[in-house]
Structures are given as C-alpha cells and as structure tokens.
A and B are shown apart, each in its own frame.
Chain A
C-alpha cells in the first residue's frame, strides 16, 4: 500500500509538474509572442529635439493617377481640306490665312475650265483658315486649296503603353498640363483605341474645350489620369512607411513606446497611402522623421570595421 501510494504520488507529482511547466511555457510563449514585435522607447524631449511628429490614422479618399504624354490633335472633322472638284481657274480668293470664317462662307470663286461656269468654294464648317494655297489666276485640279480648322474643342491623344492601358477606362477624369506648366485643363477619357500600334501603344483620347485657343493641335502635353479612386478605411502619410527586415512597418505610438507594426499597403496617391491590414483608425503613428525610429531599432547592428 505504502509503495503504491508513493508511486502514485510520484506519478501525480510528475503530472502536476509537467502541467505546471507546460502552462508556464505556454504563458512564456504567449509573452514572447507579444514581445516579438520590435519596439523602442523615446522620451518626449528626444522626440521634440529630433522633430519626430505623430498623427492619427484616419479614413480617406485616395486617387491613383498615372502620367501619360500626348499630343493635341484636332477633332475628327474639325480640320477640313478643300480642293476644287473640277479642273478650274481661280478667279477670286475672298479669305486670308488666319481669317475666321463661318460655315457656308465663301472662300474662293473658281471657273470650270471645261464648262466655263463659275462656282464657289464654301467653308463647310466654321473655323479659322489655317492654310491658303490658292492665288488668283492659278489653274488647280486636285490640290488642296484651303484648310479650315475649328479648334473650339480639341482632342488630346495620349500614348498608353501596355501597363497604362490596363488601368485606363473610359470616363476617368484627367488633368492636363502643357509643357511649361503654364496652363492646366480638365477632361475625361472618352475613347481608348482597341488596337495597338506597332510600338505597343494604344491611343487614349480626351476631349478638351479650347475657347482660349491655348491648346493648339500639335502641342505636346502631359496628362495625369485618375485611374482609381477609393474610399480607404485607413490612410497614412507615405513618409511613415519604413521597411524593417523585409517587412513593411509603421511605427505606432503607445505613450513613450514605439512599436514597429507590420502593415499591408494598398494603393498610394501623392503623399498618402492606404493601409489594408495592420492598423486601426485612430491609432497614433509616427509620420515625421520615422527613419530615426528604424535607426534606433536596428542600431545594435551599427558597426564599423576596417
């Protein structure tokens, strides 16, 4: 009996010890897991001195833009070239180059060489005479005599490369800049070519109003097209993002303690970037001089050998 009791108590004792140890180790494991996130401590004085600033994570609207280059071209049908239907002699030219004409206005008077009758050349559209190749007394047959351009509205043809084309959609808004950043205009993508040219370029088209006459066909422009717009739940400043040992992190503040919180990022636009996972709205994070915190965490490895 005694032997059994002592054996039993031994077994019980062993079991108790094992369970105690395991809970201990579990607890320890939990603790160590919680401690697994790298962190550092900084005093308020140090923060002020090093200009480390914080902000609260908020929801926000992000717009993703792509920059494309393009050329201003006249709208289809806004540039017409007129020539004589018959072999004729020019009797009168009533317009000068650069003159504004209305639709139906007479441009020139010609005499049919064969029949001898006179006929007029009328401007089919309102616009500006941009080219006058006709002079009185000339014999013309098929040459282009006048070009009339209506540049009240123009098209901007943007060169979209394969990566761009995937992101573009009809209806997206864009801001256009001329080369010298003097003027800006807004427009909407109205057409994306289904074909690619030999150089893997698809044309995307934006229509622009051009009352001022600033957007001359032939002009090179650059366009920032807003390809995506999202209401993000959490956005942070781009300056807050750092990489720590292959992970993207944001430094979250808890009193004077700063924890390197791994985050997953979404789209970024300008100074802001969306955080899809890892950060809650309202958390205080470091946005100014966040590099200093990364430096502080890794500084154990800072060395200099020769």
Chain B
C-alpha cells in the first residue's frame, strides 16, 4: 500500500504540488487570523459577582449578601469551588469552574441563579457579573488630562470632576463600541454629583424637617407625558416638562410656606456640585488624574484590539473640549511586538542556519531548498491547526518550534534520494531519463519511509505527556505541544507526499553530488573512532554508563524552580499601607512615592491606581495602591546592560525611605494572573477554617508563631482581618422610646449627614447625575460636631422639642472592626502564608504539617487546609512522574513494532539516558536551575535521541538482511549514515542556538529549553555514532556466538 502511495505521489507530482500550494494559501489566511499575545493565558475559568453595598460594614455584607450568593451558587454543574470576600461596601463572590467549561454557558447558569435569588437579598442590592475578561484583558491604559494652562470656556481651569465627566460620557461610550473591547473601566477624578447641603440651624429656624426637604426635591423634578388631544384634525401631544436642570433650578424649589412666604431650598441649604465618597483614585507623575482601562474580551487577539483602541482614541480626540487630551500610558502591543520580535528572530535565524547547514552537508542547492521549503509550509500547516482549535500564538507556542526537528523527516528522504540519484547517475554515466529518475526516487523514498515515519511519530509521541499536564503549567505548555505536534504532522505529510513530488520535479539534469570537504573531513575523523569503538565495545559501554552516573549526581546538586518568569520590561509595585488609611491620605503618600520613583533615570513615567475602580475587578481598599512603572527602552538607559533585578533592588532601597509603606514588586501581567488565580501567592499557605472571627484571628497568630520557630521559614505573615477604624453609632433605645423616635429616624439623619441620600436624577442631555442631600464637610470631619447633629423629632407635643442632638439618643464609639472577611467554599477562614528560605519545599511543608498537628489545638468546628504554589509543583511532578514513563513505554512499543527485536529496541533506547546527561551538563555549564521548562526540553530531547538511533540501526539491519556479515554491516552502515545523523543533529541543535543565546523579551523562558536540547543533542549524536554501533555489535555477537 505504501508503495502505491509513493508511486502515485511521484507520478502525479504536479497535482501534489498544486495541492501543497493550496494548503499554503489556507495557511497564510489562518496566519492572519491567528490570535497573538505575549504569553499564554493561564487564568482559570471564573466569573466574578460584584455587589456594591453602600454603607454596609464587612459583617453585614457577609451576612446579607456574600453568604446568600455563595449558597445560591452551590450545586452548579461543573463548579470547582467558590470563594468570597466581604469588605466595607463591597461583596465579591468568585465562582471558579472546571477547566474547559464554556464561559458563556457558565455565566448563563450564574445569571439564572442570581435571578432566583433576587428576593432574598436586601432591597436596592443588585449583584452584577464582572466582565468577560481574563488576566490578559487589560490591554490599554490611558489618562484623560489637560494641556498646561488650558481652561474651560468660562475661563476656569478644568477640575478632576470635569475630566471624569468627559471620560464617563464622551470617551467611554465611543470606546466601548470597538470590536473586541468588552468593558472600559474608569478610576480617578470625581463623578459629578448635584449636592444640596442643608444647614441644620436654618432648618430649625424655619421649622423644616429633612423629610420635607427630600419630598420637595423628589416631587418637583419630573417630566410627564399626558397623552394627546385632537384639535381640528391635528393631534397634539401633551407633555409637561418640569425637570430640574441647573443648580439655580434646584435652589429655587419651594419646600414649604411660612407666613405667606415660600421657603426655598436656597434659604435652608447650599446647592453646589459635590464630591461623592469615592472608593478609588488614580495618580500619574505626582498628579491626580482620571485613568481609563480598556478590557479585552476573552479569546480575542490582543494586538489587533489594542491597535483598534489606539485608533479609536485618536478619532475621539477631536470631539473633546479644547485643552483636554488623551494620553496613552500602557499599550499591550509594545510587549506583544517585542516578544513576537524575539520569536521571529529565533525562527528566522534558526531557519537560516538550517538552510546553510543543509547546503553545506548536501552539497546541492536544489535539494537544500526543497528541504528548507518544508519549514514555512509546516509552520503554515501548524497555524491552520491552531486557528481551528483556538490555540493562541505566543512566546511559548511559537517560540518553542525547532525547525531542525521538523525537517528531520524531509532531511532523511532528501538525503537518501540525492545519494541514490547520484549513485544511479554515476552507474549509468549520463544524465538520468525522467523514467529512471522517477523510479530511483520511488525506490529511495520507500527505503527510508519506515524510519522517517517512525522517527517523526516518535518525536510526536514524546510530546504527548505535555497534554497530560493540567493547571497553570498545562496552560503554559499545551499550546506549545499542540503547535509542535501540528508542525510535525505537517512536516511528516510533506516529507512523504510533497517532498518526493518536488524532488521528482526539480532534480533533473546533472546532479551535482560532490562529497564536500566538510563531510570528507568528518568521515576521515569518524572512521578510526568507529574502528576503535568496535574493537573495544565494552569500554565504550562502560564510559557511557559512567557519564550517565555523573550526570545524575550533577542533577542532585542543581537548584530547581517552578517556571522561569517572563520579563515584561515594566515593573508593577504594590504599595501597601495599614488598613483604615483614608483615600486622601493614600493619595498624598502615593504622590510622594511617585516623586521618588521618577527620580530614577531608567523610569519613563509612573501611574498608579489606588483603591477600587468603577468595576471592581480587583477590589483594593484605599490603603492599597498598584503602581505601574513604565521603563524607557534599554538603549536609553545610562547603563543599557544593567540587569532588571538590580534595578528593582535600587528601587526597593530608595522607596524604603518613605514611612508607612510596605512594598511588593511584581510585573503587570504577572500581577493580574496572580490576583485572578489567587489563593495564596507565597510558597505555602495555611488556611484555618471556622466560624468566629476572634477565634480565627487568635488561632492564626498561634499558628504563625509555631511556623516562625521552624528554621527554614521566612516571611511568615498572618492576613490582617481586623483593624478597620469604625465609628459606631448605637441608638439608646429607651431614650428613643421616651421621645417617640425610632431607630430609622436616627439612621436617616446619620445617613444624611455622613453618607448622603439620593433624592433624584438631574439630566444633562444624555448624561445623568444623582441629586444628593448631604451635610457640609465641616459637620462630617469633626466627631464632637457630629454628636451635636440635630435629629428631627416629628410631631411632638412640646413645641420646644423639635430636635434632639444625636449624642443624646445614641452612643458614638470608635473601635476597630473587621477589615475583610474571606470565605472559601462556604466557610470563613484566615490565611497564614510563609516562604521557604533554604531547604526544599516538600520537606518544609511536611515539617509545618507536623508542627501544627502537634502544637496547635483546634476547637471543635475548626480545621486546617494547606495550599500555595507548592501544590502546583507537587501536582506537576506527580503527573509527570507517571506520564513520562508511559510515554517512554509507548516509544518502546513503537520501536519494537518497527524492529521486532528486543535487543535492537534496547540498543536504541540507551540513547535516552545519555542524551539526558548532555542536557544536564549543558544546564550546569550555564548555571541554570532545573525547571518545568527544562523538563519539557528533556522530553523533546528523548525523541531526537531515539530518532537518530532508528535511522542508523534500520540501515545496519538492512545491510545484514542483504547478506553482509555483522562487523561489515555495522561498519558500513554507520559510515553510510554518518551524513544523515550529522545533518539531523546539527540542524536540530542549530535550530535552537538563537533561542539559547537570545536576550530579548521573553528569552528567559525559552533559554532552559534550548540549552537542554542543544547539550543533549551533542551527547546523543556522539553516542549514536560511537556507542550504538559498539553496543549493537557486542550484543549481536554474543547472540550469534551463543547457539
């Protein structure tokens, strides 16, 4: 059947080439539609449910909102777990689904449950689902700012409130229409509010109550339609427009009449634009600004969408008032372009090297070009597969393609055909006829068909374990495995179908086949070595075993890390302050911080987000700020080759000087990933579950103390659960009863004074702003004044008693309340986090578990859970520990089915450990630790090692079948196969050389992989050429000598 296939392919060569061209066309089309990003998206499938609860303390939020929502979500199909946090005024419930769940279906399920829940939640509480975005979603940040000295039409300068209004009502509605943008998040400035600030003294004087004021404002602010009337054949619509439009309209509203005189709002209150109570603010380069973030829909192409956003903002700019401009501060395309440049550079240089080597070793330009063409064609094939399966193109997936590997199959076919054609030409003494040429090609292809197909299949099988990884490491490496397997599949198909056809078409006329000088030298050097190996086979085997043992010892000495972190080029710094810090204080501390950061010459600019933005994707209290430090391009640094770690260290020492801040250094995308995937960011997280907050706090502190005693523990921290300053106004119920007041009277007065009560909306064209009644700031800033706040006593018998001071009927106490309440899977918990200093993670965790079991006594109803990044390392190594042997077993089976000889299979298999040794030594030489990235390199390596062995051994066996004796067969076979083995090895290793030495963006993730493969190929090739023939010779000799 295979013979028929090859014959058909070669005979119908033009058709085959046409089909290849069509496939290439489809490939180009797919390449244009490929979603490209800098890094793979490792966010899990999750939906956030955010609920704003103005005025609710953490305890109330938890009791009335978080708990019912969590309970309602329990039992959802495909649910992994839920977690929630309850903070002042905000409840966030995160629902995490199993991998592979469709996000839209998940949102549908949640929305159904929320609807059913509706009645159980308090009035005016509306849960909202977060945007359909992931950790990679924040692709574009921009500032709305003014030119220096710009002013409005009336001459006054632009205020933060004006800028926010422009952002909310002019920029955002237009930006949301861009394809691929799911949400525009805003932080900073002040949302406009119309405020009525009553003076209690005047209200007393006029005997006006708050209720009367509120009612007057509510009832005097409406437009009404009243049907239509018919008049003389015409239809007139009836309408009464009496909405309040301006501040003076509001001031003129009549509240009540006294002595024939109307008392207007202006008589008892001040009317102005007010500043609402904000949850978040933004600063940039020491100024307060308005910051907008464009969020990309899940699964879109970040480069395309970011570009579209930039274009749209340029279109919006002219429609803004004079002097207001939009300034971009973070654009994802920068990072994507840099990583793609790295990938492109690697691919291009790799391909070039491959072509050069092919040409040198083959000595024939046309043959080299045919082999080289397989590279782009297989890549296009892979991209078609990626687009069809929604695999994104990024640093990991595109960057790990080794063209040397991919052209292996083609190399084998081309090399053999070239040899055979040259031989035939030599034999006949003239140029071959087309018939002869075709038949030679058919024969030569058939000759190497099995080893070629098996070789490529083996390399493909070797990547299969990677599909078995799950979690974070799975998301990182599966795209890579998919891409490589798809490229290999394409290359295989091309090698057995298109390459013979191309050879048949192009290799006409005189075949130049000189043994070029490089090969001659190689052969001359190889022969004595081979003879030596055959004379002392056992010595060779012994040497090999020694090398392997040495490498194992070396591996024990080496450090290990989980995954190398991509250097995004920019720095994200968390500035943490104590809980309870006010927003104003935080903003002022942040401005000082930005001044210090800007003093470093490598910094281009700084911008920060303090607190929580409009859409609470990451709810931070006002005491936490995310500072984004955008660096200048390296060429503009005073010392362009300063390592980033050193820069971070300098930054750290400078900002430590500022009092009151605690810092964490990370990077923008890394930070978002951590927050979404969440749980604990340290090496080890101990969670104590229970009910009572005070008990949890105490247990947490005890556990932290116990863990601190352990020698290898560092950075032990208990999460801060309390410490939020709260002013509690507790009504004195008996006193209230005496006066005829109710609790809600007091609460309403209090709300009016400190929080504000909304009594309507003011429309400005499309824009809508709330109308709020609230006391002036000097009432709210002073605690003793707050005690004097007059509470209206409605309809009391005594005309003197129209009011009573708040302090008379309520206790005002300052206390520390709970800051935030965390729940996971329905239970409150406290988290103690710790990092391991020296010593390995596994034994550290065991020590901690033992210590806690012995020393910490938990009351009934409390239990401990363990988590943190050690879980990931454990699960990954566990998985790999059975998947990798399985893959090796598969290879074994494949080899056995190809050769039907146990000894042959074993001989080829020895290539694997010796290839691994080379990889380990290469890592040690470059001082790199073992990591999952290197592990993936080892996996790729095993395939290559086996392939070369297959190539050599199959030829040796063929010679034996043809009748040569053992020694001759081995010698000749090895000699003959020197060139293809050298070619595949050189080409495979050179393909990775650019990657191993690149220092561009993203290179640190690929370097371990490339280093391992190069080192391993060197050692694998050596032993294929030397050890394998010796071993086979020795084994076969023993077999034949023993009857």
CB within 8 Å of B: which residues of A? 40, 42-43, 45-46, 49-50, 52, 67, 69, 159, 161-163, 179, 197-201, 219-220, 222, 243, 246, 268, 291-296, 298-306
Contact = CB atoms under 8 A, between A and B. Distances in A.
B657 interface: yes
Given A243-B814, A306-B679, 15 more contacts: A43-B657, A179-B205, A198-B797, A198-B801, A201-B798, A222-B201, A299-B576, A299-B662, A300-B662, A302-B577, A302-B662, A302-B720, A303-B720, A304-B576, A305-B719
Contacts of B833: 305
Nearest to B623: A302
B658 A50 contact: yes
B869 interface: no
Given A199-B800, A220-B201, A303 B719 contact: yes
Contacts of A302: 576-579, 623, 661-662, 720
Interface residues of B, number: 57
A304 B624 contact: yes
B563 interface: no
Contacts of B808: 161-163
A119 B396 CA distance: 116
Given A220-B205, A306-B85, A299 B578 contact: yes
Given A243-B814, A295-B581, A301 B658 contact: no
A35 B816 CA distance: 25
A218 B705 CA distance: 68
Contact of A69 (B201, B585, B659): B201
A199 B801 contact: yes
A305 B830 CA distance: 10
Interface string B874-902: 00000000000000000000000000000
**Main secondary structure on B side of the interface with A:** mixed
B659 A46 contact: yes
B740 to A, nearest CB: 10
A299 B660 contact: yes
Contacts of B576: 299, 302-304
9 contacts: A40-B659, A45-B657, A69-B790, A161-B805, A197-B801, A268-B784, A295-B661, A296-B660, A299-B662
B204 interface: yes
B844 to A, nearest CB: 21
Contact of A197 (B595, B620, B798): B798
B102 to A, nearest CB: 25
B678 interface: yes
B831 A292 contact: no
B3 to A, nearest CB: 63
B827 interface: no
A201 B592 CA distance: 52
B805 A220 contact: no
B711 interface: no
A287 to B, nearest CB: 16
B162 interface: no
Interface in B713-772: 717, 719-720, 723, 725, 738-739
B304 interface: no
B620 A304 contact: yes
B82 interface: no
A201 to B, nearest CB: 6
A301 B801 contact: no
Contacts of B723: 298, 301
B805 to A, nearest CB: 6
Contacts of B790: 69
Contacts of A296: 659-660
A46 B589 CA distance: 12
A157 B720 CA distance: 52
Closest 6 CB pairs of A and B: A199-B801, A295-B660, A220-B205, A296-B659, A302-B576, A306-B678
B577 A199 contact: no
A135 B678 CA distance: 90
Nearest to B801: A199
A220 B675 contact: no
Given A197-B800, A198-B801, A199-B798, A67 B659 contact: no
Interface string B562-590: 00000000000010111101000100010
Contacts of B717: 303
B796 interface: yes
Contacts of B798: 197-199, 201
Nearest to B790: A69
Contacts of B796: 199
A262 B204 CA distance: 42
Contact of A49 (B592, B679, B719, B720): B592
Contacts of B85: 306
Contacts of B592: 49-50
B88 to A, nearest CB: 15
Nearest to B596: A49
Nearest to B625: A304
Contact of A305 (B658, B725, B793, B822): B822
B804 interface: yes
B578 A292 contact: no
Contacts of B679: 306
A303 B678 CA distance: 14
Contacts of B199: 179
Contact of B793 (A67, A197, A199): A199
A295 B578 contact: yes
A293 B659 CA distance: 7
A299 B201 CA distance: 43
A69 B578 CA distance: 40
A305 B739 contact: no
B275 interface: no
Contacts of B675: 306
A299 B580 CA distance: 12
A232 B204 CA distance: 36
B205 A199 contact: no
Given A69-B204, A220-B205, A201 B659 contact: no
A67 B788 contact: yes
Nearest to A300: B662
A275 B678 CA distance: 47
A139 to B, nearest CB: 30
Contacts of A49: 592, 595, 658
Nearest to A296: B659
B719 A201 contact: no
A304 B581 CA distance: 14
A301 B704 CA distance: 13
B800 A201 contact: yes
Contacts of A42: 659
A222 B658 CA distance: 45
A46 B660 CA distance: 11
Nearest to B809: A161
B680 interface: yes
Contacts of B110: none
Interface in B796-824: 796-798, 800-801, 803-805, 807-808, 814, 816, 822
Contacts of A294: 578, 660
Contacts of B659: 40, 42, 46, 50, 52, 292-293, 295-296
Q: Which of A43, A199, A201, A299 has the most CB of B within 10 A?
A: A199
B508 interface: no
B202 interface: yes
A191 to B, nearest CB: 16
Contacts of A299: 576-578, 660-662
B419 to A, nearest CB: 63
A293 B661 CA distance: 10
Contacts of A295: 577-578, 581, 589, 659-661
Q: Which of A67, A163, A222, A306 has the most CB of B within 10 A?
A: A306
B658 A46 contact: yes
B735 to A, nearest CB: 9
A257 to B, nearest CB: 13
Contacts of B574: 304
Interface in B78-122: 85
A214 B604 CA distance: 64
Contacts of B804: 161, 199
